[in-house]
Amino acid sequence: MQKRQVYLDHGATSPLRKEALEAMLPFLQERYGNPSSLHSPGRKVRTAIERAREETALALGAEPEEIIFTSGGTEANNIAIRGAAQARRGKGHLLTSSVEHHAVLDVCRELAGEGFEVTLLPVDRYGLVSPETVARALKPETFLISVMTANNEVGTVEPVAEIGALARERGILFHTDAVQAVGQLPVDVREMKVDLLSLSAHKFNGPKGVGALYVRRDTPLTPLYSGGGQERQLRPGTENVPGIIGLARALTLAVEELPEKSRRLKALRDRLIEGLLAMGDAVLNGHPSSRLPGNVNVSFNYIEGEALLLGLDLEGVAASSGSACTSGSLEPSHVLMAMGLGLQLARGSLRLTLGRGNSDGCVDYVLAVLAPLVDRLRKMSALYPGKQS
């Protein structure tokens, strides 16, 4: 079998698509004006940014004034959560799920340290947050709920529209980290009834270092940075012009291609899952059906995830793992632990995330290189009881 390069880590980041790069190039070359400048080179760039804002809004079912561009998903999450907390007079109660990305979880943890009350919602074995659990956790002083649209590790798609509806009814702000969802699922801010929604361009074949935050009209938000008045003062500083242009282009195309892409990825995903589970002593992590089209997450018993990852890397396959050893920390993925996986299974998780460039051939290749690797690692594992027959 010939060695190939197969990128199966689109959940970490995805290649910038040609159309987005092409849209960016003029702004990396002759259209270099500062959008805040009054002269015509500046005004032309301002026009382009405002057009990008309209495109972004359109793709999300929002109004242009409701979009602010950020330097990525992490910044969008920080501005949303800390900004909403600081806009409150006094402290209050917020709730989030135990499977959020660190850029949400750590902000909440810090707010807790500052005197806010924070509830970490439990999830079921599939990583699902139930709207009933949310409802039960509410208090009179709850001002914010933050639950991600789809989980980055296990791909579970959360019932955000239901949570949004219950938040809206009670006048509680609702933020969703849609970084993994945008470009893979239909995302409509009105249907989801969100007040704040974060996205990051590099997850949908846009450029790295740029994201956006949807801020519903009249949502109280205190800016975290001071400076120029850019992005309605919520994100001051000279705009990342090429990044913003690239984001809008990539997003528009991703939304256009969504139905077709989703169908295609789901087919690949399901075939991949089937092949992995067929290797035996393996379990699927995350929800079997309420799941991102491109996400595969499987735990192999008796094997450590980083070893799998390294083995795959040597065969040209880029993957990711919830193993503690991949992050240099001692604890394995908080997501897998919150879902109730044992330490060993949590350490044996392998995440394969599919994207635009992947084909049936990629799936075949991964399965072909993974089978002997799993076999080899099992045979050398101190935990392996031997082939069950």
**Cα distances (angstroms) measured from residue 99 to each of 82, 95, 336:** 19, 12, 8
Q: Which does 379 bind (CB under 5 to 8 A by kind): other proteins, ligand PLP, its own copies, none?
A: other proteins
The reply on whether position 37 binds its own copies by CB under 8 A is: yes
The reply on whether position 380 binds other proteins by CB under 8 A is: yes
For 277, which DSSP code? H
Among 60, 68, 129, 148, binds ligand PLP (CB under 6 A): 148
Q: Output the smallest distance, CB 233 to other proteins, in A.
A: 15
Cβ atoms of 134 and 152 closer than 8 Å: no
Nearest CB to ligand PLP, comparing residues 101 and 269:
101
Q: Which does 89 bind (CB under 5 to 8 A by kind): its own copies, other proteins, ligand PLP, none?
A: none
Site string for ligand PLP, 186-215 (x = CB under 6 A): --------------x-x--------x----
Residue 6: partners with Cβ closer than 8 Å, 6 or more residues away? 316, 317, 318, 358, 362, 365, 366
Q: In what order do the strands lie in the sheet with 295-300?
A: 282-284, 295-300, 349-353
Q: Which residue is nearest to ligand PLP (CB)?
A: 73
Cβ atoms of 94 and 116 closer than 8 Å: yes
Cβ atoms of 27 and 48 closer than 8 Å: yes
Among 1, 2, 18, 38, binds other proteins (CB under 8 A): 38
Burial class from Cβ neighbours inside 10 Å (0-12, 13-18, 19+) for residue 314 reads exposed
Q: Which does 177 bind (CB under 5 to 8 A by kind): its own copies, ligand PLP, other proteins, none?
A: ligand PLP
Beta bridge partners of 145: 95, 174
Which residue from 243, 224, 220 is spatially nearest to 235, judged by alpha carbons? Answer: 224
Among 4, 51, 102, 387, binds its own copies (CB under 8 A): 102
Q: Is 325 designated active site?
A: yes
Size of the site for other proteins (CB under 8 A): 27
For 341, which DSSP code? -
CA atoms within 13 A on the CB side of 33: 16
What the block records as the tokens of 310 is 């390294």
Among 10, 82, 101, 378, binds ligand PLP (CB under 6 A): 101
CA 329, chain centre distance (Å): 21
Q: Where along the sequence are the contacts to other proteins (CB under 8 A)?
A: 38, 43, 302-307, 310-311, 314, 323-326, 328, 330, 332, 343-344, 347, 379-384
Q: Where along the sequence are the contacts to ligand PLP (CB under 6 A)?
A: 72-74, 77, 101, 103, 148, 152, 177, 179-180, 200, 202, 211, 237-238
Active-site amino acid positions: 325
Q: Where along the sequence are the contacts to its own copies (CB under 8 A)?
A: 5, 7, 9, 12-16, 21, 24, 28-30, 32-34, 36-42, 71-75, 77-78, 101-103, 106-107, 109-110, 200, 202, 207-210, 224-228, 236-243, 306, 309-310, 312-313, 317-321, 326
